[in-house]
Amino acid sequence: MLTAGVDLAPTDERTALATIAWSRGRAVLRELAVGVPDARIVTAVRNADKTGLNCALGWPEPFAALINAHRDGHTASLPSKENGANWRRAMMYRATDEAVRATVPGVVPPSVSADRQGHAALRCAALQAMLARAGQDVDRSGAGAIVETHPAASLHRWGVTRRYKGRHEGLAAALADTTSGWLELGAFAPLVATNRDAFDALVAALTARATALGLTVRPDADELPLARIEGWIAVPTSDLASLP
């Protein structure tokens, strides 16, 4: 099996790509690069069995409805004085964001509609269109060629850390130590240790493997329709030792 991981930024310069080749009890990091254009990502997705994207695959459905109503000059449902905070929260966070917040302590995905994450999401929307044109099954729930990942959620579930931001060197060392018996980083080890974008791409590729094995949380029947619109973050359900 071949899995890929992409840490998608608004620009090529901060976008990273990782590719892992899997065999029984062993995994080899075949590719790790920073400064990756869309065309290279499309090729990686086409070659991989599963690709993890560290970027929101969609926007909150209530937010999209609000924007459409605003565009058409319709009067959207407005918040009352009592429910203003809840109304704004529904516009800011997707169902999957709320699910991660509720199940992974200390992990709060950023808002794709009210945060700078929106810049990367715009690029991701165009990338999804490119992938669809290339014949890839683009299912935002994670059932197709790509799946949405969140490094902090994956690392927390794998027991690597409970605090993600600001501790890159320690996280990289902890991940390398935890996977040392089966994951070969080879010449890419220094890049994993020193570059956050490359590290996040590696985590996305590992999460893609977990998804391919059925070892991540999937949306249930009630959640699936919205997940196909908004996206669904793949949160691992087992430890790293289950991957090789």
pLDDT tens for each residue of 92-136:
899 999 999 999 998 989 899 877 788 999 999 999 999 999 999
Instruction: Tell me the pLDDT tens digit for each residue of 212-230.
Output: 999 999 999 999 999 999 9
Q: CATH no. for residue 30?
A: 3.30.420.10
- Say how far apart CA 117 and CA 54 lie, in whole Å: 11
- Is residue 39, in this structure, part of any structural domain at all? yes
- Is residue 30, in this structure, part of any structural domain at all? yes
The total domain count for the chain is 1
Average pLDDT over residues 181-210: 98
- Is residue 86, in this structure, part of any structural domain at all? no
- Is residue 71, in this structure, part of any structural domain at all? no
- Is residue 118, in this structure, part of any structural domain at all? yes
Select the more confidently predicted residue: 75 or 124: 124
Global pTM value: 0.92
DSSP codes of every residue in 81-119: TTTHHHHHHHHH--HHHHHHHHHSTT--PPPSSSSTHHH
Q: What is the pLDDT of residue 87?
A: 82
- Is residue 104, in this structure, part of any structural domain at all? yes
Residue 155, domain extent? 2-59+94-242
- Is residue 85, in this structure, part of any structural domain at all? no
- Is residue 70, in this structure, part of any structural domain at all? no
Instruction: Tell me the pLDDT tens digit for each residue of 136-191.
Output: 999 999 999 999 999 999 999 999 975 555 578 889 999 999 999 999 999 999 99
